[in-house]
């Protein structure tokens, strides 16, 4: 028989029409109480995890002699039948049983009779839901890592094709120095690589099984929590029964990683939106990832990027929601924690949709290389190269070289020309030692090629980083 607790109703087999809460209650809850309390509308998403946990628990109870092997076999047969019903869309989810755990238990009772009541021995819905939710978040982290790798692969393919394609690099969204399109995309490969690492780290920390903590104090039965943990792919069981049922920091950490990843997606989405404007004209997206206007026939809108940019609000909002739910809860379980699932489900739904959309957009986009190259030299973007030339060739202190270069930019601006078109006489008026050799560094392609420091934008460096990442992802 199972351990009675305030949190755990008796088996639905206790009697036809009997209140699930047994002898302590004599009347049904009010309709409003039922409306605020029922969670099957959203926690049905934990069905696969609930069945997995129940299978592992039943097998352990049998191996430990807590229930007979015959009862365990009957329970496993019933759980398998329930899994089949769920796969076929025939499982009868019912509000009167409140949540996924009691829905499964009620259906098990209908299928195999009173033996079903032995399944809940040595566990509570508190550790049961903590297990199910932890399993779901763990799987969500794994799926997200796979999607991040797919996005990185799409970025790598574009970066490799455009390792030497010139474009302007920006600070303050103003032209700063020439870079390559491949180098720019590789910045996001690095960001998404850190995102994947954060999800892997979160997964490692959450990979402990809470099952067997029961309501909050553990179990008097001779259970083997280590065996259940191993059966469910956990590294170990959780070490404190109170912490096991009352903590949701594993979900908060996953949502924190999701928020950072969504922020990176939003930044890339913002750049796609900007690059698609006629004023920039750096890239094109096909019909697959753009929409039109109901009134303006000429429009091609990057709506997939815009929606990706917007959904970071949903993900961050989910993190904030769960943090607010947990911030004031005393140990151990409180019903407030039923509010942990919806924001977590919504956040990962949004994030995984955006990851898929971004991988699609990255693979779909075509850069306008001529437009990018023309813009790469705009705004006197090789000014730093001029200053560096003065330091290397005339042995000027960098601050003095910076001043001379600033004067050259001012003169070029007055004449309406670029630095590469500024007459040598104008440059020599600033320092008579300047020679024709200076023009070798004033072209954007020369600027890019010179940036050979590790992690720099020189095409050879970009290709080296692409090769490194290909090996890492392999």
Distance CA 283, CA 368 (A): 5
Residue with tokens 């020309």: 417
- At 15, list the tokens: 């009697």
Residue with tokens 């995102």: 195
Please enumerate in sequence order all residues whose Cβ is within 8 A of that of 195, keeping only pairs 6 or more positions apart, or say none. Answer: 148, 257, 260, 261, 264
Q: Please identify which of the residues 26, 172, 432, 453 carries the catalytic annotation.
A: 172
* Burial of 384 per CB tally in 10 Å (0-12, 13-18, 19+): middle
Please enumerate in sequence order all residues whose Cβ is within 8 A of that of 313, keeping only pairs 6 or more positions apart, or say none. Answer: none
Distance CA 354, CA 200 (A): 19
Q: Please identify which of the residues 68, 69, 293, 334 carries the catalytic annotation.
A: 293
Please enumerate in sequence order all residues whose Cβ is within 8 A of that of 200, keeping only pairs 6 or more positions apart, or say none. Answer: 141, 145
Distance CA 139, CA 192 (A): 19
Please enumerate in sequence order all residues whose Cβ is within 8 A of that of 362, keeping only pairs 6 or more positions apart, or say none. Answer: 151, 154, 155, 158, 185
Residue 180: phi, psi to the nearest 5? -110, 155
Distance CA 82, CA 51 (A): 8
17: left (phi over 0), alpha (psi -120 to 50) or beta: left
Please enumerate in sequence order all residues whose Cβ is within 8 A of that of 161, keeping only pairs 6 or more positions apart, or say none. Answer: 182
Residue with tokens 């601050």: 399
- Confirm whether 172 is a catalytic residue: yes
Residue with tokens 């004023």: 279
Distance CA 314, CA 337 (A): 19
The residues assigned a catalytic role are: 172, 293
């Amino acid at each position: 028989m199972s351990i009675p607790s305030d949190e755990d109703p008796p088996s639905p087999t206790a009697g036809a029409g009997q209140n699930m809460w047994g002898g302590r209650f004599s009347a049904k809850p009010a309709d409003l109480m039922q409306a605020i309390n029922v969670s099957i509308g959203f926690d049905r998403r934990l069905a696969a995890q609930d069945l997995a946990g129940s299978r592992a628990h039943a097998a352990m109870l049998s191996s430990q002699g807590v229930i007979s092997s015959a009862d365990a076999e009957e329970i496993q047969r019933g759980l398998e039948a329930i899994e089949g019903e769920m796969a076929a869309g025939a499982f009868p989810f019912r509000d009167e049983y409140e949540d996924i755990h009691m829905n499964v238990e009620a259906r098990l009772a209908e299928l195999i009779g009173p033996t079903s009541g032995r399944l809940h021995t040595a566990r509570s819905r508190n550790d049961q839901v903590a297990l199910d939710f932890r399993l779901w978040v763990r799987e969500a982290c794994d799926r997200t890592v796979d999607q991040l790798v797919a996005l990185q692969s799409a970025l790598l393919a574009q970066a490799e094709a455009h390792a030497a394609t010139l474009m302007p690099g920006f600070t303050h969204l103003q032209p700063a120095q020439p870079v390559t399109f491949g180098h720019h995309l590789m910045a996001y490969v690095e960001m998404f690589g850190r995102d994947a690492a954060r999800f892997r780290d979160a997964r490692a920390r959450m990979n402990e099984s809470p099952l067997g903590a029961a309501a909050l104090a553990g179990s008097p039965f001779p259970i083997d929590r280590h065996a259940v943990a191993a059966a469910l792919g956990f590294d170990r069981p959780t070490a404190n029964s109170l912490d096991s049922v009352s903590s949701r920091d594993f979900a908060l950490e996953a949502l924190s990683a999701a928020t950072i990843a969504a922020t990176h997606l939003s930044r890339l989405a913002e750049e796609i939106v900007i690059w698609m404007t006629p004023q920039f004209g750096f890239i094109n997206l096909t019909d697959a990832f753009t929409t039109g206007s109901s009134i303006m026939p000429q429009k091609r809108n990057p709506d997939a990027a815009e929606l990706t940019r917007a959904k970071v609000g949903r993900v961050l909002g989910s993190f904030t929601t769960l943090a607010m739910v947990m911030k004031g809860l005393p140990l151990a379980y409180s019903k407030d924690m039923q509010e942990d699932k919806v924001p977590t489900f919504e956040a990962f739904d949004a994030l995984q949709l955006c990851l898929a959309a971004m991988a699609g957009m990255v693979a779909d986009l075509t850069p306008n290389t001529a437009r990018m190259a023309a813009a790469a030299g705009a705004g006197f973007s090789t000014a730093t190269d001029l200053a560096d030339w003065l330091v290397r060739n005339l042995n000027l202190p960098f601050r003095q070289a910076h001043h001379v270069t600033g004067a050259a930019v001012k003169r070029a601006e007055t004449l309406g020309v670029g630095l590469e078109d500024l007459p040598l006489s104008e440059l020599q008026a600033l320092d008579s030692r300047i020679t024709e050799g200076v023009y070798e560094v004033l072209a954007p392609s020369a600027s890019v090629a010179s940036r050979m420091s590790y992690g720099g934008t020189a095409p050879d460096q970009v290709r080296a980083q692409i090769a490194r990442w290909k090996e890492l992802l392999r």
